A and B are shown apart, each in its own frame.
Chain A
């Protein structure tokens, strides 16, 4: 065996500790975690080895390690850990650092992840949508201010949404541009992660069929079959399923809204029977149920799974914020109460935060866990699911 010189990266260890992995040094390598984990491959299982790598600050080994992402944070390891080393929380911290490492614009990752920059996180969309609002028709603002002659509250006049509304930055355009930015960031990040994992893995066991592996991974993700293997966070399967299906539903209805307004010049408010509207209403219900289940699970399982970090809670808060402000905006509109405008304004602040920081916040797991799952199959790390 050739001699190997291990250089501990102290900064990386401290970063893990600062990112919610403060328990990392308690691990004494008993390997209970690798056995109670139901989602690890049997060969070279995680998270015991990752705990050792984290204690030694072996950054390259960790951030280019698909296993870090194959972990679904069931927290069975954390519940059974005899030392309170919380492997689930440590791997979550490593994932957070991995997101930062592969990010296209590291400043965005810093804003999304640093609790000290929470003011900046919120300031950007608050100012942005205020500016957009100021570009609304002068008379609309007057209507709203005076509360006159409005049979029905019309949000899209408050913040101009559609292209024909004569506003330089209509809402839908802002969201379309933000989405482009997010997709670009994600593509860059996924590419960096893939390259890193490939370099770290060295010679791949089997050159898989990439398309096949992608389809198989997406199927697994949609079926939520990995979540079903969790014990402690079992309830999360349903919360996450509802939430992710609702995101898909809302994304489709959002794209439909863009098509309506840009291709067919049909603008809102849309009839409640409109298929796009129906889809978004159904998604909204699933969204609310999903986020309530997830937060309930967090609180009830905290004793076993740990309380999570800022990284988790800011993401959950933004998602919950979208649900709460959306529900309030709808309620106030139906009740014809002008407080709805404030709710509507905040709703877009939250939605924009989610979208703009998607590849930088915890939401990035959508891209990177998928990438790692595909890589695991592609590299022969994980058996193909039939």
Chain B
């Protein structure tokens, strides 16, 4: 019998975590490297899953618990793969570990953040509020351990956080280190980025305050988001009572993303429920090319939203968004294809259903990895022993990512035994 080797999972989002726990629970050692200081990826930024409308943390927590209960998973945050060489059953991988400046003694008391004088845009909330250079993303972050942002922290010259920490958890002299691991299989799970709205010139190019992205909407509606879950428009923090959803903001467009991003229709339908539940008198209008809700449950969800009197569906892509300079209301222009009339409608806030861009479009994985012209990993052309999961191969929802990652676990186990 062949020697059982380790499996490396690159990316600690829902796909990567799933692949890791499934592999570990089958008795194989797993190493996960996550680029950011926390696990959970995009799902941690969501308010609710569709179509069940339950909070993502319930699914994530189960996985975190499974990780904690399994002794065979080595976790690395702030870690990036620098080099991959070898073949199936015997890959040598170089990993760079950036310092967290916070050790395991951290109890999450927030004293360091209170002491920290440096403010920076909160990337977890897509820049909608500020955070300190000593921070934790949210109250259910994993690992529940603060982090000092290496780029923005003033370092040992400041040290206010060190003084504030009663647990000797902060060490600003931590250095980056490089480790080498030998693994039998590698799972690529580096996920996706929201499409850059500054490229959508006719949709405001990210310059209009009350035009936000669907991911920003998730943060706005999240109880642990910048507004504590209140859907307030950014310009004046007034309740957004009249919202437009602009579908295909970049997707299905050869000038931007020449593919359907799969999740945006369901995401917008789901976000309609956020608004409608929070404000009973609110109205929502969805501008679309086609509503794509594949399968039985998604189609049922669509039907349910269609039944809401305060929700309007308009077939016609929005192709101009402007701002009323006096009120900061947003003016949306489209052609209502059904009536053939041009619409110029005013909204409190507009949500762009921005598409999914594979993280590998901008940041390639070091090693011999094949890509599609859109930047997705070309799964069929990968070397033996290397597998890609979830949104790295094509735009998918969380459920399909999980199914995919579970399937990939068995493939990586086979490679790790060769």
Contact = CB atoms under 8 A, between A and B. Distances in A.
Interface of A: 28-36, 40, 42-45, 48-49, 80, 82-84
Contacts, number: 59
B257 to A, nearest CB: 9
Given A43-B341, A45-B335, A45-B342, A31 B254 contact: no
A43 B254 contact: no
B333 A35 contact: yes
A80 B335 contact: no
A177 B335 CA distance: 49
B337 A82 contact: no
B289 A28 contact: yes
Contacts of B344: 42
Of all A-B residue pairs in the complex, the 3 with the closest CB atoms, nearest first, are: A35-B319, A82-B253, A31-B335
B342 A49 contact: no
Given A42-B342, A43-B341, A82-B255, A34 B289 contact: no
A84 B254 contact: yes
Interface of B: 202, 248, 252-256, 289, 315-320, 333-335, 337, 340-342, 344
A35 B253 contact: no
14 contacts: A30-B252, A30-B316, A30-B317, A31-B334, A31-B335, A34-B342, A35-B342, A36-B320, A43-B341, A43-B342, A44-B341, A80-B202, A80-B255, A82-B255
Contact of A80 (B319, B333, B337, B340): B319
Contact of A35 (B256, B315, B320): B320
A43 B342 CA distance: 6
Nearest to B287: A31
Contacts of B254: 82-84
A30 B317 CA distance: 5
A50 B342 CA distance: 15
Contacts of A80: 202, 255, 319
A40 B333 CA distance: 14
Given A36-B320, A43-B341, A82 B335 contact: no
A61 B69 CA distance: 70
Nearest to A28: B289
A381 B25 CA distance: 71
A32 B340 contact: no
Given A28-B289, A30-B317, A43-B341, 7 more contacts: A31-B316, A33-B319, A35-B320, A35-B342, A36-B319, A43-B342, A49-B340
Contacts of A34: 319, 335, 342
Contact of B202 (A29, A30, A36, A43): A36
Nearest to B258: A82
Contacts of B337: 29, 31, 48
Contacts of B252: 30, 82
Contacts of A33: 319
Given A43-B342, A45-B342, A31 B320 contact: no
Contacts of A40: 342
Nearest to B288: A30
Kindly name the residue among B202, B252, B256, B342 whose own CB sees the greatest number of chain A CB atoms within 10 A: B342
B248 A30 contact: yes
Contacts of A29: 289, 337
**Most chain B CB inside 10 Å of its own CB: which residue of A28, A33, A82, A83:** A82
Residue in B289, B320, B335 whose Cβ sees the most chain A Cβ within 10 Å: B335
B227 to A, nearest CB: 32
A30 B289 contact: yes
Contacts of B255: 80, 82
Nearest to A79: B255
A33 B255 CA distance: 14
A366 to B, nearest CB: 29
A40 B342 CA distance: 10
Nearest to B256: A82
Contacts of A84: 254
A49 B319 CA distance: 16
Contacts of B316: 30-31, 35
A272 to B, nearest CB: 51
Nearest to B250: A82
A5 B318 CA distance: 31
A83 B317 CA distance: 13
Nearest to B201: A80
Contacts of B334: 31, 35
A275 to B, nearest CB: 49
A34 B315 CA distance: 13
Nearest to A77: B319
Nearest to A83: B254
